[in-house]
Amino acid sequence: MAPTKLTEAQIQHYHQHGYLVIEAFMARELGEQLMHRAAELIEDFQPSKHPSIFTTNEQTRTSDDYFLASGDNISFFFEADAFTEDASADQQLVRPKAESINKLGHAMHLLDPVYKDVIDSLSLPKLAQQLGLQQPRPLQSMHIFKQPYIGGEVGLHQDSTFLYTQPLSCMGLWFALEDADRHNGCLQALPGGHTLPLKQRFRRLEAGGTTMDILDDSAWPEEPLTMLEVPAGSLVILHGQLPHYSAANTSARSRQAFTLHYVDGACDYPADNWLRTQMV
């Protein structure tokens, strides 16, 4: 059973470093349920001729209608290297569909009963409250695959860039469904970096599409990132301002993870946030 009571040392670690690792948080059978359900959803999914490709290194590519509507749908996003490079022809997968998906999102916790049941069994709002959220509200969830050989790099970023509240309140819960290490693209974080100002904000434009506002153009500190190598079943809790990163997966192993982001319902969630979904 997942622990619902954090120790004072765990709470202090989170506030000091901006992250907290709890190993053996999720029973492996629960993680296997999520991976099995994801495989079923992908099997039933029929890609369009113009599939949505996800990359955090070029946000303008993710501003299509499919991406922006993904708060109300179970949506499928492909790895950038999953297709042929011939731009003049219809894009063709170069590997099986199940080995090409980057992630499912962005409301798995609301729209799929298997994900909802697993999440509801973990008493996650109690953890978020102990770490400072007054009214934890689940806002965004994703099943991330980090596919073997083609799982893309996720550049250094702060989650509050994409899930912005006033005042800032985003908190990410990252569940390792498979072992994550430096070879298959584990999380890396800048300890204490959550005390830095928010660098950017990703938002919708009134005329359509999105933009990335620069809030602070100072350089990231030149400090080494900490490798968050964790076994399957671990939970990594990330402060919304903590800079974190994951390298490309060049190994033969996937690195499946499930993420759920909370914001504080006591804070204002501006209407120009890219993600428009009902908080429950």
Going by pLDDT thresholds of 50, 70 and 90, the confidence category of residue 86 is low
Percentage with pLDDT > 70 across the chain: 92
Alpha carbon of 237 to those of 67, 91, 182, 189, 267: distances in Å?
A: 25, 37, 19, 11, 20
Residue 153 lies in a domain: yes
pLDDT for 280 beyond 60: no
Residue 86 lies in a domain: yes
pLDDT for 261 beyond 60: yes
Going by pLDDT thresholds of 50, 70 and 90, the confidence category of residue 88 is very low
Going by pLDDT thresholds of 50, 70 and 90, the confidence category of residue 1 is low
Region 91-111: what's the mean pLDDT? 93
Residue 234 lies in a domain: yes
Token readout for 208 is 């359509």
Residue 269 lies in a domain: no
Token readout for 161 is 């860039």
Q: Which pLDDT does position 60 carry in this prediction?
A: 44
Cβ proximity of 162 and 260 under 8 Å? no
Half-sphere exposure in the Cβ direction for 168 (13 Å, CA): 19
Distance from C-alpha of 179 to C-alpha of 230, rounded to nearest angstrom: 6
Instruction: Of 13-27, 51-65, 98-112, 211-225, give the lowest mean pLDDT range.
Output: 51-65
Residue 278 lies in a domain: no
pTM of the model: 0.94
Structural domain including 114 reads 8-264
Residue 273 lies in a domain: no
Predicted confidence (pLDDT) per residue in 28-43, tens digit: 999 999 999 999 999 9
Q: Which pLDDT does position 90 carry in this prediction?
A: 63
Q: Which pLDDT does position 89 carry in this prediction?
A: 52
Distance from C-alpha of 243 to C-alpha of 38, rounded to nearest angstrom: 28
Helix (H) or strand (E) holding 117, with range, is: helix 113-120
The residue with tokens 């504080």 is: 264
> Which three-class secondary structure state does DSSP give residue 261?
strand
Q: Which pLDDT does position 72 carry in this prediction?
A: 86
Predicted confidence (pLDDT) per residue in 156-196, tens digit: 999 999 999 999 999 999 999 999 999 999 999 999 999 99
CATH code where residue 155 lies = 2.60.120.620
Token readout for 24 is 């053996």
Residue 244 lies in a domain: yes
Predicted confidence (pLDDT) per residue in 44-84, tens digit: 999 876 677 766 554 444 457 889 989 888 999 999 899 88
Residue 280 lies in a domain: no
Token readout for 113 is 């009963």
Between helix 113-120 and helix 28-44 the angle, nearest 10°, is 160
What is the average pLDDT value for the chain, to the nearest integer? 92
Total count of domains within the chain: 1
Percentage with pLDDT > 90 across the chain: 81
Length of the chain: 280
Region 119-133: what's the mean pLDDT? 97
